[in-house]
Amino acid sequence: MHLKGAVALVTGGGEGIGHAIAGALVREGCKVTITGRREEVLRAVAPGLGAEFIGADVGIEADAVRTVTSVVERHGRLDVLVNNAGFGMFKPLVDTTLADMESIYRTNVFGPFLMAREAARQFIAQGSGELINIASTSSLKGSAGRTAYGSSKFALRGMTECWREELRKHNVRVML
């Protein structure tokens, strides 16, 4: 894919890996929008990146819909979605609560699902797109103390494989 002029959306783009990915996409000539829950962080870093920002929580359906819709309305298309937003929680099984699991899954599983669903609708309509899910080596092998995080990354890996098979016929590439 040629990145110059492409429209990209990076979740969790205010810091860490997402910030680095957004910066790399900007340097390649993309029009980049970053998202995150902490709007004050986005407001501070977006100008230095040369990116736009939308404060949003990927795990809230209305925010996911609003974010993708806003990017498409602003730029007329969406070419790349990088599902990067996520966080880790590392506790033994006996200390992990249902609230812990729900919190991790809200961001690490349901968030990528919601963002991918909305982006895929646009990608199918325009006949192309790049859907990139950022996972972890924790998606490959379970380990002690990683019930919440590891299982969320296993889920993301599984969804990626399903989406790749489903969206390939629409000229949409899905990567993990």
Q: Which residues are known to be catalytic? A: 149
Could you list the beta-strand ranges (E) of the chain: 7-11, 31-36, 52-55, 80-83, 129-133, 172-175
Angle among Cα 56, 153, 14 to the nearest 5 degrees reads 30
- Residue 118 CA: distances (Å) to CA of 20, 59, 100, 123, 153: 24, 13, 26, 9, 20
How far apart, in whole angstroms, are the C-alpha atoms of residue 138 and residue 115?
22
Q: What amino acid is encoded at 169 in this protein?
A: K
Cβ(47)–Cβ(17) below 8 Å: no
How far apart, in whole angstroms, are the C-alpha atoms of residue 172 and residue 149?
28
Cβ(12)–Cβ(85) below 8 Å: yes
